Amino acid sequence: MSQWSIEAYEKAWQFAALAHKGQTYKGRTPEINYDYITHIGMVTARVLQGLPATPEADADLAVQCALLHDTLEDTPTTYEQLLAEFGSAVAQGVLALSKNPNLPRPEQMQDSLARIVQQPKEVWIVKLADRADNLQYVPWNWKAERINNYKLEAQVILDTLGAANSILAQQLAERIASYG
């Protein structure tokens, strides 16, 4: 594994923190909402934890994609901004990790996975870490059908991308098994 750069981390963290400023996500109960940057940090921590299982990985690419993975999907950030700030590899990785809002919802994940598998394994690792973090608990307002669909979708992610990193594949498998 290549060593990751604190300068690359700082730059991407600061960009993500500003892009996601004011955003929150649901907790286990209606009273709990977390700052969205918490999710970004947890996904990145998982990526860093998993990187030793993929020794050939470009750690800076993996870390920057983890920190920026939701900027195109959930903020006004544009692909062109990411390209200018972080270069083609990061911008392409984040684009692949972003669902296409122009597609019907049921097709969005399959489209994203088809684009992710065309990317370096570092991008695959980010998606595994992202879904593992998203499965830490069931949001309080989700119904049984949504929970089941999310769990099934997680299994598709694991089946498609799990070969990229044994540590993160195991974490995701454990989360799937206990979800709901």
pLDDT at res. 104? 95
- What is the model's pLDDT at position 159? 98
Within a domain: residue 71?
yes
Q: Is residue 144 part of a domain?
A: yes
β-pair partners for 35: 24
Range of the domain at 169: 6-178
Residue 118 belongs to domain with CATH number? 1.10.3210.10
Position 80 in a domain:
yes
Helix, strand, or coil here: 3? Answer: coil
In a domain, 1, yes or no: no
In a domain, 165, yes or no: yes
Specify the pTM: 0.96
Let me know: does 9 contact 51? Beta carbons within 8 Å.
no
Decide: 71 and 94 in contact? Cβ < 8 Å.
yes
Does a structural domain hold residue 14? Answer: yes
69 lies in some domain: yes
> 20 phi and psi, to 5 degrees?
-95, 5
Task: Look at the chain and report how many structural domains it folds into.
Answer: 1
**pLDDT at residue 144, rounded to an integer:** 96
pLDDT of residue 1: 61
Give the pLDDT of the chain (180 residues) as one tens digit per residue: 678 999 999 999 999 999 999 999 888 888 989 999 999 999 999 999 999 999 999 999 999 999 999 999 999 999 999 999 999 999 999 999 999 999 998 899 999 999 999 999 999 999 999 999 999 999 989 999 999 999 999 999 999 999 999 999 999 999 999 998
